[in-house]
Structure 1
Amino acid sequence: MDVVILIGRILFVLVFFGSAMGHLTQTASMAEYAKSRGVPAPSAAVVASGILMLIGGLSVLLGIWADLGALLLVVFLVPTAVLMHAFWSETDAQAKQMEQIQFMKDMSLAGAALMVFAFVAGTEDLGLMITDPLFSF
């Protein structure tokens, strides 16, 4: 079962690593898009979100305080969903549908990250992890 959980962690964080690399290597163009969506301090927000995704993803992947890493991903995902994918303010039907899909994707990933947090913080035998959880209940 340890290997299955490790594979799940690997698959879960792939999307965050790809996105983090985009945030950290294409900051200017991503900041322009963030600015168009009304994000305050868009350049700083793009870099900060890239760092959150990278650190959170590495934490979950490597099993180094994976519970904290999962919470960092939630901290990235929920505001991103609300600020960047505000489908309720779109007037074009196609744009509204695309933003709603992206909003739901981010919220679903936030739910999965919360499940990772609960699993790591609430399970005694975590298998292939480098550290014990930071939190426990």
Structure 2
Amino acid sequence: MDIVFLVGRVLLAAIFLLSAIGHFTQADGMAQYAEAKGVPAAKAGVIGSGVIALLAAISLIFGIWTDVGALLLVVFLIPVSLMMHAFWKVEEPQAKQGEQINFNKNLALIGAALILFYVVNQGQDIPAGLTDPLFGRW
């Protein structure tokens, strides 16, 4: 069953790794989009959120302080969801639906990250992890 946990961690991390790459390789375009959504200091926000996503992905993929990586996902997803996918501000029905789908997806990812945080802090070895959790069992 260890392989299932590892595959799940890698799959969860994959979207954030790809997102981080996009944040760095398409920073100008993403900053313009974020600015249009009303994000203050959009370029810094794009780069900063890219760093958070990258650190989270590396943590989950390699099992380095997996609990910290899970919390970094939450730190990444909450402001992104509220600022970039504010469907309640959108008038056009199709655009509103797209934003709501992305917002709901992010809620599910926040839930997955919180479950991962909980599971890795239960005092068991993390399957295929390089380190123990930073916070340990509470």
TM-score by length of 1: 0.97
Contact 2:125 2:132 in 1 (8 A): no
Structure 1 Cα separation of the partners of residues 47 and 24 of structure 2: 6
C-alpha distance in structure 1 between counterparts of 2:123 and 2:115, whole Å = 12
Deviations 1:111-132 (A, max 9, x none): 1111111111124132211001
Q: Quick one: which amino acid aligns to residue 2 of structure 1?
A: D
1:4-23 pair list within 5 angstroms: 4-23=4-23
Distance 1:63 1:70 in 2: 11
Name stretches of at least 5 consecutive residues in structure 1 with no aligned partner.
Answer: none
- Does structure 1 conserve the Cα–Cα contact (< 8 Å) formed by 2:10 and 2:61? yes
1:25 matched residue in structure 2: 25
> What is the aligned partner in structure 2 of residue 54 from structure 1?
54
CA distance in 1, matches of 2:117, 2:123: 10
Aligned to 2:127, the other structure's residue is in SS state coil
Mapped pair 1:129 → 2:129: yes
1:115 aligns to what? 115
Poorly superposed stretches of 4+, deviation over 6 Å: none
Please, which moves more after superposition, 124-133 or 87-96? 124-133
Partners of 1:101 and 1:56 in 2: CA distance:
23
RMSD over aligned Cα atoms: 0.9
Task: Give identity over the alignment, percent.
Answer: 50
Q: Give 1:76-115 correspondences, 5 Å limit.
A: 76-115=76-115
With the length of structure 2 as denominator, give the TM-score of the two structures. Answer: 0.96
Per the TM alignment, residue 106 of structure 1 is displaced from its structure 2 partner at its CA by 1.0
Deviation track 1:28-48 (CA, whole Å, cap 9, x = no partner) reads 000000000000100000000
What are structure 2's unaligned runs of at least 5 residues? none
- 1:70-101 deviations in Å (ceiling 9; x for gaps): 10010000110000000001111111101000
Post-superposition Cα deviations, 1:7-31, rounded to whole Å, max 9, x if no partner, equal 1111111111111100011100000
CA distance in 2, matches of 1:104, 1:123: 31
